Each structure stands twice: as structure tokens, then as C-alpha cells.
Amino acid sequence: MSPSTASSPPTSSAVEWEFSPATTRPLRLLVYVAVGLGVGPVCGLVVLVGATLVGGGGVGVALFVFVLALFVGFGVGSGRALFALGNAPPEVHETVRALSRGGVVASVLLGTGGGVVGLRWTDVGFELVVGGVVAGFVALVVGAGLQSEGVVDGDTGELTYAGHTVPLDAIRRVRTLRLGRFVVLVVDYHPGRVGASTPRVVVCSRAARDQISAGTRRETPASGADEQSGERAPRAVRAVAATFGLACLVVGPVLWILVPAEGRLIVGYLGVFGLLFGALFVRYAVVA
């Protein structure tokens, strides 16, 4: 054996990945889009209302500039205070430090300009403002969903993700969706091998996807072998969860039809919680 061979470090088959605004440019761009669409149209509405008041002689220019400065300062200051008092986790501070102040300001100014143009020169200005805020929230949710980190260790045959350690031989099937550098995996497990809270959707890198696929093929029991080393939740428990979940999903639309128009606001508010709890109970009934 040559000296170079003897001194070479052992190779590891572990694949790690981390997607966050601090490490991934597309996620930072999504944050800028979310800020511009979510905050910009609201600022545009404030600017337009103030300009209208100044043009009509209701307030002076100096007073409007002073109120606008207070509005901006209150927004920035309240955000910093919430981070400080709320003891935000380290990843939040990393995200804030990774964002460019110029990029944030530019995105807000672009959103503000779009809001002013939509309100001033179109007949659907209010709809544009509401749509911009909704689109900004959607961009924020998508960015949060794509943030992930984990490790696939081929030596131990385990996937560590979202606080869970999953044996690769518990995975029955993997379906893949490519989104640029992101790979979204929809994972099916062998019955009884994992808990109900184990993630069924994994966002990872292409290298991690290849490692998971290779480990799954290597670790999956042969055809005809006993694939269930664990037990599912009792059938009665799953039946109760499914019944309760379906009832939560149905009760909102039914009440929306039966309740008079003046009471639909409360029904809609409660219906959101019904959809949430219904989805959780149905999911438990399916995967437990």
C-alpha cells in the first residue's frame, strides 16, 4: 500500500444541504418580491391619499412629509422592536443580515410606484392593491416552504430532516418535482414504519435526491418479504379521525349556504379553522 493511499482520509457518503435566504439567491429574491408586493401597494395608497390632501389644500406639504416620515419610521422601528422583544431565532437574524438594504428599498419603491399608478390611472386600483398584498404573502409562503436543511447518510441509511430521523428502508416510493436547484420529494412510507408527524414532503438538493433514491433501492426489502416492522394506529382511532376531519371540512360550506348573508363573515372566519383542523385529522387518518 502506498503512503498516499494509507494517509488518505476515509470518504463519507453523507450529503448535506441548506436552503435559506442567507445561502440561496432565489430565496432572497422571493423575500424582495414579497416585501415589494406586500408593503409597496400600501405605501402607494398612503402617498396618493397624502398627495390628494396636499393638492386640495387640506394639509401642508411639510406636514405631509412629516407624517410620512413618522409612518416609515414607525414601520421600521416596530419591526426591529418585535425582533428584539420576540427573541427571534438565529435563522431570522441571518435572513435579515443577508438582505441588502438597497434591495429592500428598491423593492418597496417599485411596489409603491405600481400602487400609485394602479390607483391613479386604472379603474381596478383597489383590486391591484389587494392582489399585490395577497401575491406578496404567497411569495413569502413559497419562500418559507422552500427553506430547508438536512442530511442523507448512506452509511447509516438515514435521512435527517425537519427534526426527524427517517430510515431509508422505511421509504416505499419517492415522487420528484424539480424547481430549479430545488427538488421537492413526495415520499410514501411503508405502513407502520414511521409516525404520523414524519414529513411526507421533503425539499432537498439534487445530490440528496440521488442519495435518497439509491438508499431506497438498496434498503427496500425484496418482493414477498415482510415490509411492516411496525404497526399502524388502531382502525377505530383512524375511523374517528377521518369522520371528525370530514365533518370539519363539510360544516363550513354547509353553514355558508344556510346562514343569512349578515352572518357569513363569522361563518367564513370559523370555516378557515374548520378547514385547517379537518385537513389535519384527515391526514392523520390516512398516514397514521
pLDDT at 224 over 70: no
- The secondary structure of 113-159 as a DSSP string is HHHHHHHHH-TTHHHHHHHHHHHHHHHHHHHHHH-EEEEEETTTTEE
Q: Are 115 and 170 contained in the same domain?
A: no
pLDDT at 119 over 50: yes
Q: Are 152 and 249 contained in the same domain?
A: no
- Residue 169 per-residue DSSP state: G
Tell whether pTM > 0.95.
no
Q: Are 43 and 112 contained in the same domain?
A: yes
Q: What is the pLDDT of residues 125-184, one digit of tens each?
A: 777 778 888 888 889 889 989 999 999 998 888 999 988 999 998 898 899 999 889 999
Q: Are 48 and 122 contained in the same domain?
A: yes
The total of structural domains in the chain comes to: 3
Q: What's the domain range around 191?
A: 148-219
Q: Are 197 and 256 contained in the same domain?
A: no
Q: Are 40 and 104 contained in the same domain?
A: yes
Q: Are 32 and 135 contained in the same domain?
A: yes
What pLDDT is recorded for position 149? 92
The amino acid that residue 131 corresponds to is G
* Overall average pLDDT of the 8-34 stretch: 82
Which of 113, 146, 179 is the endpoint of a domain? 146
